[in-house]
Structure 1
Amino acid sequence: MLATPGTLPTGPGWSFEVKWDGMRVLATVTEGGPGGAAPVLQLRTRSGRDVTPNFPELAGLLELAPDVVLDGEVVLLDDGVPSFAALAHRMQGVVGPAAAQRRPVTFMVFDVLRLYGVPLLDRPLAERRATLDRLAPARIAHVEMSPLYPDGAALLAVTAQRGLEGVVAKKETSVYRPGRRSPDWVKVAHRHSQSCLVGGWRPERSGADRIGALLLGVPGPDGLEFAGRVGSGLAGTAVQQVLAERLGPLESATSPFATAIPRADATGARWCTPSVVVEVAHLGRTQAGRLRQPVFRGVRDDVGPAEVRREPG
């Protein structure tokens, strides 16, 4: 279930938690079948991608229960604050146990959807959280409960002060609807962010083998709408490698954008099929719908191309 962008709700019947800046993951433990086989853990993103090998330090979830489905956010903390840029590298591929333990992620659990074969989707949030409390997932290494708070305004102020992403408000009576964006969950962010599709890229002036800027798009009623280009945040060697691996096989002879984009942006562009999703921070939009001062934050493997939509701000 996804949160709807909006203003902070007031009144009774709402709980509030930190909006964690990471990768949304469903963790599923299933019984191993006949013969006493060991339970199996699978970690999947919103788009259905299996990222279990990416996070070997979360194998302790197998000890929680022989049959359980948890919803939460995988984060990589720097001084208690999630760093999406640091997590982006872990999203991309398999990591060995030793490397994972040197800088482990944390799985911030905020919901339980099934337990011992019993679906909990139609139970109210307050009941699901009580069930989660009894499971005590924080006894597992690298797993924490995402705390709930009664005062949304105070939490919003604290998260702004600490540099956190924002707050999610959840109606205590809300049932869980997989994949749907519900008004019963409301997200309030301190900074603007936008998931975009990459429709092309421009090489650096110093050499055609390095990506100097990405040409961004967001689906609109008439096709892919140009949202601007981003060059800030692309300089790192790991970022260049990941983007080259993803975009190279998608090269196209024609622009995927619904309308012609400005010559200043299109000059020297190499077009590609728009199937790679990236996350961009920005300072709002121009009247033409371009992102102001965009900064590349990472590839979003947990978001499918069909899920990209224009976010407020």
Structure 2
Amino acid sequence: MLATPGPLPTGDDWLFEVKWDGMRVIADVADGTLQLATRTGRDVTANFPELAGLAELAPDVVLDGEVVLLDGGVPSFDALAHRMHSAVSPSVALARPVTFMVFDVLRLYGVDLTDRPLAERRATLDRLDLDGLDTVASSPLYPDGEALMAVTGERGMEGVVAKRADSVYRAGRRSPSWVKVTHRYSQTCLIGGWRSERTSVLRIGALLLGVPDDDGGMTFAGRVGSGLAGSAVQQVLAERLAPVTTAASPFGGDVPRVDANGAHWTEPTIVVEVAHLGWTAAGRLRQPVFRGVRDDVEPSEIRRERG
């Protein structure tokens, strides 16, 4: 289930929790065997071996939550990025372990809980012994959304998610019963092309970004170069972009010459997230900064967010 962007709700019908800056993961334990998967179904069990203890929680359970990696006591998507795309050894994982912040339980002992209200599901989650797992925690709920917004803003965190206490869970759907409110703008985009660095044709200097439009095409949203310098980022992007190279631009309209000059076009299948300072009058992202590839987001889910 996905949250809808909007203003912070008020009232006794709403519960509030931190919007964790991490990777959405579904943990499925069946017959004592754990599988971790993104919302798109990609198996990431080997990416997070430090979460193996979830298999001991119950012989049959499904949990929804966010994998986060702390940097200076605050969740950092940038710090987590290198763990999102490949398997690591247990020793590497334990040197800097992630934490699985669980915020929902969808099945327990073979019983589907998705039609139960959130308040009941959270009560069930609270009865599970998460305290016995060092790398797993329950995402706390708070009654005062405005106070939580203030605290998360002071700490440099991403924001708040408000959830109706009576909301049922609908997998894969964006629901007005869950509302996300952020302190900074972020946007998921599709890569439609890339340009080499001026000093090296082998390095990616900028990505050409797009957002789906109402007609089924893709609108050019600008290019991003900030945040691409790291060797790990370059490797991940090079591996992803090579198989989807195409001869023609995937954008619905003309891309400005200053952006299209020297571009290598790609099929719009790779989802990335960027931070930005809003949108220009021409519909371009203002000062975007690359944050990472999002394997946990489907291209069909992307829409232009506020900002």
* TM value normalised by structure 1: 0.97
Structure 1 counterpart of 2:296: 302
Structure 2 counterpart of 1:90: 83
- Read off the aligned partner of 1:305 and give its amino acid letter: P
For residue 290 of structure 1, report the CA deviation from its aligned partner: 0.3
Q: Does 1:224 align with 2:218?
A: yes
Structure 1 counterpart of 2:74: 81
Structure 2 counterpart of 1:163: 156
Structure 1 counterpart of 2:48: 55
Q: Deviations over 1:200-229 (max 9, x none)?
A: 000000010000000000110230110000
Q: Match of 1:24, SS?
A: strand
Q: Match of 2:201, SS?
A: strand
Rounded to whole Å, the distance in 1 between the matches of 2:99 and 2:68 is 5
Rounded to whole Å, the distance in 2 between the matches of 1:306 and 1:138 is 37
Identity of aligned residues (%): 74
- Read off the aligned partner of 1:291 and give its amino acid letter: L
Rounded to whole Å, the distance in 2 between the matches of 1:149 and 1:6 is 18
Q: Deviations over 1:96-148 (max 9, x none)?
A: 10000001100000000000000001111111000000003232120011000
Q: 2:178 aligns with which of 185, 189, 202?
A: 185
Structure 2 counterpart of 1:36: none
Rounded to whole Å, the distance in 2 between the matches of 1:145 and 1:244 is 36
Rounded to whole Å, the distance in 2 between the matches of 1:138 and 1:236 is 36
Structure 2 counterpart of 1:34: none
Q: Would you say how many aligned residue pairs link Structure 1 and Structure 2?
A: 306
Rounded to whole Å, the distance in 1 between the matches of 2:229 and 2:193 is 17
For residue 306 of structure 1, report the CA deviation from its aligned partner: 1.7
For residue 12 of structure 1, report the CA deviation from its aligned partner: 1.1
Structure 2 counterpart of 1:6: 6
Give the 5 Å matches for 1:1-313. 1-31=1-31, 39-222=32-215, 223-313=217-307
* TM value normalised by structure 2: 0.98
- Read off the aligned partner of 1:177 and give its amino acid letter: R
- Read off the aligned partner of 1:207 and give its amino acid letter: S
- Read off the aligned partner of 1:208 and give its amino acid letter: V
Structure 2, unmatched stretches of 5+, are none
Runs ≥4 residues deviating over 2 A: none
RMSD of the TM alignment (CA)? Answer: 0.7
- Read off the aligned partner of 1:70 and give its amino acid letter: L
For residue 286 of structure 1, report the CA deviation from its aligned partner: 0.5
Q: Match of 2:168, SS?
A: coil
- Read off the aligned partner of 1:28 and give its amino acid letter: D
